[in-house]
Chain A
Amino acid sequence: MTERIYLLPLWIRLWHWSNALLIITLSVTGFSLHFADPKLPLVEFSLAARLHQVAGIALVALYAFFVVANLVTGNWWQYIPKPPGIIERCWVQAKWYMFGIFRGEPHPYRVSEETNFNALQALSYWFIMYMVMPLMLLSGLLFLFPEFAPDRVFGFDGLLPVAVVHYLTGAVIVMFMIAHIYLGTTGTTATSMFKTMINGWHEHVGPEESRHGDRRHADRRGS
């Protein structure tokens, strides 16, 4: 039995795919700029610089939209890791990724309209979107407006700490992106989560049909 719930409104889907496009552009151009080497041509340097600048400004605008839309719609609550039992719920989720998924065990978390994310998702999305992204965007803005950066730090150009923060936060986001794309394949089928992100509808298979569905969760709820 397949159950469908309308999980993701249009604005979240549009934001998500725009965000994805910009992050991929910024990752490729950022890599080309930081590891600039005549022996390793990826994107031509001046083109990479311009693309990185334009995509960076667009990402700042998109992030501002994300924050405002989250506040207006109340969607911000989805990203808040809810404390009671969070460590236990994270551990259950991690155990499933480490062992249960290979044994075809049902997914330990059942998505609902009220709570879209499992505990690990909420924690990692909160960390990326509200801790890492602002740091990356602020350091990027300081690159655009270096007059606001300190003149000198420990005898070096004041842009050095800004550059290091930008580089490290960018690397964290690239690692998150790799894991995020892969975990997108861990739905009911390898493509179901990608479809949800396109049409907004989340599908979960009923316990009797589940390949690694939500039997345990359903049982617990039923008990």
Chain B
Amino acid sequence: MFSTWCQRIFGALLVAGLCGAPVHAGSDSPIDSETLAKNRKANEVCFACHSPAGIAKPPRADLDMSKLADSRVEPEIFNKADHGVMDCRQCHSSKHYGAEYPHGAAGKTETSPCNECHAAKQLRLEPQFNASVHAKVEGVKEKFTCNTCHNVHVNVLALRLKDPAKIVEQDNHGCLACHNSDATFARFAPASDKMPGQKKARPDIDTIHEWLPNTKAHWKAVRCVECHTPEVAAGKMLSHEILNKEKAEKKCLTCHSADSSLKTRLYRHMVKDEQQRLGFTNSVILSNSYVIGATRHPELDRIVIGFIVLTLAGVLGHGAVRFIAALRRRKNGEKQ
């Protein structure tokens, strides 16, 4: 019992560190290199089986390979993830650890819930999640955990990832893993309204986004949640209220304008570095994507508009003088 509480306290301290600093081992790490080395060494015991290498070459002959495949973790990816500095046992009970096989029957239920470390965050996010489409559909809410969208063995905080392209790839994977896979979608899907006894079929992701021009380009450049979450104040964390297609943002100008909401969303972590590089508005966005309407050069726009106005004024002025001159010639001709 005492050791469990020690682990939880350590976990909470670790999370407090994660929120404010990069987590990789080194001078900025929230844990010292000795503890990190100890954790990594301990995790090697788990990865002996729960890794691609372990599955390819099982250390024991009596392993249930289908169950093992479901609990596979990529050590290289995990070590770079936010939780990668931790000992597996901090979340997965120590009863699972070591040579004891098969592990405890309680298995996954003994995995620590996220709120053991992230209690404050859960308190803040739970009302948002409860308002989201995933919580409102009957029978779906209970199947959802943080890990459903945020893979704890993989995910890295946007603040640490920095590169918007990597943030997009990671976060959209969380959505598309279900919304672009019939098998995974079926695990969460509610009963079908139209076909009794069957589950709701997965709507085709391309079909439901047909209204959106250059759909594929959008999915590479922005996250699903840019449109499928409500607007939040500048500097605030993105809402966890996932909006359905009726409520999702459909006004293109929300992003495609000088006051682009991308500044408070995907580029939230970079916006403090905005320096209007080379005179461009939203140059932090331009570092990753050219977003028409948002990434403009006001000086260039003024010059272009100026030339167009001059051309218009020139032809109108020329035409007016021509007209007056023709009238005067006609008048003079009539007099003669």
List B280-319 residues whose CB lies under 8 Å from chain A.
280, 283, 286-290, 292-297, 300-301, 304, 307-308, 311-312, 314-315, 318-319
A101-B329 Cα distance, complex, nearest whole Å = 12
Q: Which residues of B contact A103 (CB under 8 A)?
A: 325
Instruction: Write the B240-283 contact mask toward A (1 if CB under 8 angstroms, else 0).
Output: 00000000000111001110000000000000000001101001
Instruction: Write the A21-39 contact mask toward B (1 if CB under 8 angstroms, else 0).
Output: 0000000000001111110
Q: Cβ of B336 < 8 Å from any Cβ of A?
A: no
CB contact under 8 A between A37 and B258, given known A102-B322, A104-B325, A104-B329 = yes
Q: Cβ of A11 < 8 Å from any Cβ of B?
A: no
Q: Cβ of B212 < 8 Å from any Cβ of A?
A: yes
Report yes or no: B290 in contact with A160, Cβ–Cβ below 8 A.
Answer: yes
In the complex, residue of chain A having the shortest beta-carbon distance to the beta carbon of B286: A156
Secondary structure at chain B's binding surface: helix, strand, loop or mixed?
helix
Query: Shortest beta-carbon distance, A168 to chain B, in Å?
Result: 7
Query: Shortest beta-carbon distance, A187 to chain B, in Å?
Result: 12
Report which of A38, A160, A179 forms a contact with B286, defined as CB distance below 8 A: A160
Q: Cβ of B5 < 8 Å from any Cβ of A?
A: no
Q: Which residues of B contact A201 (CB under 8 A)?
A: none
Report yes or no: A175 in contact with B293, Cβ–Cβ below 8 A.
Answer: no
CB contact under 8 A between A175 and B319, given known A35-B301, A160-B286 = no
Report which of B286, B293, B325, B326 forms a contact with A33, defined as CB distance below 8 A: B293
Chain A contact residue count (CB 8 A cutoff) = 35
In the complex, residue of chain B having the shortest beta-carbon distance to the beta carbon of A177: B311
A21-B104 Cα distance, complex, nearest whole Å = 74
Q: Cβ of B102 < 8 Å from any Cβ of A?
A: no
Instruction: Write the A160-178 contact mask toward B (1 if CB under 8 angstroms, else 0).
Output: 1011100110010011001
Report yes or no: B212 in contact with A175, Cβ–Cβ below 8 A.
Answer: no
Q: Which residues of B contact A129 (CB under 8 A)?
A: none
| Most interface-central of B253, B289, B325 (chain A CB within 10 A) | B253
Q: Cβ of B213 < 8 Å from any Cβ of A?
A: yes
Report yes or no: A171 in contact with B292, Cβ–Cβ below 8 A.
Answer: no
Report which of A37, A146, A157, A185 forms a contact with B319, defined as CB distance below 8 A: A185
Q: Cβ of A49 < 8 Å from any Cβ of B?
A: yes
Q: Cβ of B211 < 8 Å from any Cβ of A?
A: yes
Report yes or no: B325 in contact with A168, Cβ–Cβ below 8 A.
Answer: no
Instruction: Write the B37-68 contact mask toward A (1 if CB under 8 angstroms, else 0).
Output: 00000000000000000000000000000000
Q: Which residues of B contact A53 (CB under 8 A)?
A: 213
Report yes or no: A38 in contact with B253, Cβ–Cβ below 8 A.
Answer: yes
Q: Cβ of B217 < 8 Å from any Cβ of A?
A: yes
Q: Cβ of A155 < 8 Å from any Cβ of B?
A: yes
Q: Cβ of B13 < 8 Å from any Cβ of A?
A: no
List A135-155 residues whose CB lies under 8 Å from chain B.
146, 154-155
CB contact under 8 A between A157 and B288, given known A35-B301, A185-B319 = yes
Q: Cβ of B207 < 8 Å from any Cβ of A?
A: no
Report yes or no: B293 in contact with A178, Cβ–Cβ below 8 A.
Answer: no
A168-B307 Cα distance, complex, nearest whole Å = 11
27 example contacts (A-B, Cβ-Cβ < 8 A) are as follows A33-B292, A34-B292, A34-B296, A34-B301, A36-B294, A37-B253, A37-B257, A38-B253, A38-B257, A46-B211, A46-B212, A46-B213, A49-B213, A49-B214, A102-B322, A154-B278, A155-B287, A156-B286, A157-B287, A157-B288, A157-B290, A163-B292, A164-B297, A168-B304, A171-B307, A178-B308, A179-B314
